Structure 1
Amino acid sequence: MGADYSADCGKLRTGGIMGKLLYVLPLLVALMLAGCGKQESDLPVNTRLGGDFTLTDQNGAPFQAEKLKGKVSILFFGYTHCPDICPAVLAQVAQVYRHLEEDGVADQVQPVFITFDPERDTVAHLKEYLPWFKADMIGLTGSLEQIREVAKQYGVVFIKDQEAGEQGYLFTHSDYIYLLDEQARVRKLYPADFKIDEVVTDVESLL
């Protein structure tokens, strides 16, 4: 009787261990799979900036903010007749894009340029101008009312100067660059003289 009882207890103990393993193993597998997923970036989400909009791209097609989703975007507001800051920033954005090409992730990133000078930055002009930067850049224009609304959403200020210079009228404007995640949420702002390596690192943290 004693031997039989001991054997039964052994079976009970074994059954209890197996039951616990069957319970714990799925949890361990779930934790391992979660660990293999994409790590969330430390960049905070800016809930005060951004939003839906509709403009027109350099091909003359309507462009909604929804189309920014699925890629990380580097967004900049400016105008092509700017004598200094705007072309310099676009050139820096192009350098960021080339670094991302070298790292093999440029296809997941979309540079976007929104003009606040629709009078001169027409669809045809943007289509001719932006390829010079070799960064697969989307150019957006629209009516002045549309652009003012988008600029307001991103906290962008632009004021048309009354006196025209050698290149025609100019703008006084803010010059921040916006980093948007794959959900088109603003994650970081940079000054016009941003460090290229910093932007590359931040972009890759969102991929």
Structure 2
Amino acid sequence: MFNRTTGIILAIALAAGLGLLLAQKVFGPGRDDAHPTGSILRYPTPRPLPDFSLSQSDGTRLIPGELRGHWTLVFLGFTSCPDVCPTTLADLALAQKQWEKIPESLRPRVVFVSVDPERDTPVRLGEYAHAFHKDTLAATADVPSLERFATALGLVFQKAPGRNFDKNPDDYSMDHSASIAVLDPDVRLAGLMRPPFDPRQIALDLEKLTGTSAP
């Protein structure tokens, strides 16, 4: 039977597809040359991102300079997410455990960006993200800033009101892309990871990119 949960899952899957289409669209000519490298769909030419400034859970700002010098995985979600977010963050945490041996100066970053700033306070967001792995960066912003940031990554999100939204403003979910954006050390959009995710493959791919994989 088609229920609300099924609808949400289908909407998220649709959003993931839209995110991929957006990502392909912004790369213009040559986008069909995108090719997979392990778990990553690499783009032929990395795309510089516009300036961004998000609020991190520790009260500092997440700006491009904070990510420079690191390969970074960016995932959109929200703390009330019933399935996609916790599953993805758990997969990423397994990869992060394998990266703990990498020097901090080279270690890949994972950034969880909440697209639900109305409910995800800095404290709540930080506690949620760090429950998966202590190194995960957690950030959010006002909706217009989030929309600009998501669009630059080729990802999408939107509020999905529930049946009682008119009476209860908190009765809503967030549909969002399920893919992960991959940023290179120059903070350019270099590719995309699409579900389902293989933590071991993600760990190996990022170790190769950082030059820290075993010979």
Deviation at 1:46, TM superposition (A): 4.6
Tell me the equivalent position of 1:156. 155
User: Is the contact made by 1:45 and 1:186 (CA closer than 8 Å) also made in structure 2?
Assistant: no
Structure 1 stretches (4+) deviating beyond 3 angstroms? 43-51
What is the identity, as a one-letter code, of the residue corresponding to 2:77?
G
Q: CA deviation at 1:183?
A: 1.3
The TM-score with structure 2 as length reference comes to: 0.69
Tell me, which stretches of 5 or more residues in structure 1 are unaligned? Answer: 1-42
Aligned: 1:195 with 2:198: yes
Residue of structure 1 in register with 2:183 after alignment: 180
SS in 2 for 1:80: coil
The answer to whether 1:105 aligns with 2:98 is: no
TM-score, normalization by structure 1: 0.71
Q: Partners of 1:49 and 1:90 in 2: how far apart?
A: 26
Change (3 A) 1:189 1:201: same
Q: What is the aligned partner in structure 1 of residue 73 from structure 2?
A: 74
TM-aligned CA deviation for residue 125 of structure 1? 1.1
Shift of the 44–153 alpha-carbon distance from structure 1 to 2, 3 Å rule, reads closer
Measure the CA separation in 2 of the matches of 1:64 and 1:140.
10
SS in 2 for 1:171: strand
Query: 1:63: which partner in 2?
Result: 62
Report the secondary structure of 2:202's partner residue: helix
TM superposition shift of 1:152: 1.1
| Counterpart-to-counterpart distance in 2, 1:122 and 1:200 | 30
Q: What secondary structure does 2:161 align onto?
A: coil
* Structure 2 residue identity aligned to 1:158: F
1:94 Cα deviation after fit: 0.4
Corresponding position of 2:95: 96
Please list every run of 5 or more consecutive structure 2 residues that lacks an aligned counterpart in the other structure.
Answer: 1-41, 165-169, 211-215
Matched residue of 2:82: which SS?
coil
State the 1:187 CA deviation: 2.4
State the match for 1:12 in structure 2.
Answer: none
1:192 is paired with a residue of what secondary structure? coil
Q: CA RMSD in A?
A: 2.2
Name the larger-Rg structure. 1
Compared with structure 1, are the counterparts of its residues 177 and 46 closer, same or farther at alpha carbon in structure 2 (3 Å cutoff)?
Answer: farther
50-59 or 80-89, larger mean C-alpha shift: 50-59
Distance in 2 between residues matched to 1:109 and 1:129, nearest whole Å:
20
* Structure 1 position 132, deviation (Å): 0.6
User: SS of 1:161's equivalent?
Assistant: strand
Q: How many residues align structurally?
A: 163
Looking at structure 1, the residues matched to 77 and 148 of structure 2 have their Cα atoms a distance apart, in angstroms, of 15
Per-residue CA deviation, residues 22-59 of structure 1 (Å, 9 max, x unaligned), is xxxxxxxxxxxxxxxxxxxxx55553474320111001
Q: Which has the higher strand share?
A: 2
Mapped to 1, the partners of 2:65 and 2:151 lie a distance apart of 18
Change (3 A) 1:196 1:58: same
What residue in structure 1 maps to residue 174 of structure 2?
Answer: 171
Instruction: Tell me the CA shift for residue 106 of structure 1.
Output: 6.2
RCO higher in 1 or 2 (8 Å CA, sep ≥ 6)? 2
| 2-structure distance, mates of 1:98, 1:164 | 40
Q: Which amino acid aligns with 1:122?
A: T
